[in-house]
Amino acid sequence: MRYYEIIETAATRRPRPPAGTKPPLTPEQARRAAERRNDAQRKLRDENLRHSAKVGDIQAKLSQSP
């Protein structure tokens, strides 16, 4: 990288916000974040239900066997 390339990239770089602060989300970003959260919760709930069903089946089989 040449000297003038370093100066150009440094001059055009946007300043970073202070650590731990984020700009507020736009309504579209907030909607997408809520969808991601809801999808993750739905997946966990479905996985938990499947697991509970498997455990219930195994417990039923074990209780039936002599």
3-state DSSP: the chain helix, strand, coil percent, rounded to 5? 75, 0, 25
Predicted local confidence at residue 6, as pLDDT: 58
In a domain, 39, yes or no: yes
Q: What is the largest CA-CA distance in the chain?
A: 83
- 14 domain-assigned: no
Inside any domain, residue 2: no
Q: Could you give the number of structural domains in the chain? A: 1
Q: Which domain holds residue 43?
A: 24-66
Q: What is the model's pLDDT at position 65?
A: 67
What pLDDT digit, counting tens, does each position of 13-63 carry?
A: 667 767 777 788 899 999 999 999 999 999 999 999 999 999 999 999 999
pLDDT of 52: 96
What is residue 21's predicted lDDT score, i.e. its pLDDT? 78
pLDDT of amino acid 44: 96
Instruction: Find how far residue 4's CA is from the centre of its chain.
Output: 40
Nearest C-alpha neighbor of 39 from the set 29, 28, 31, 27: 31
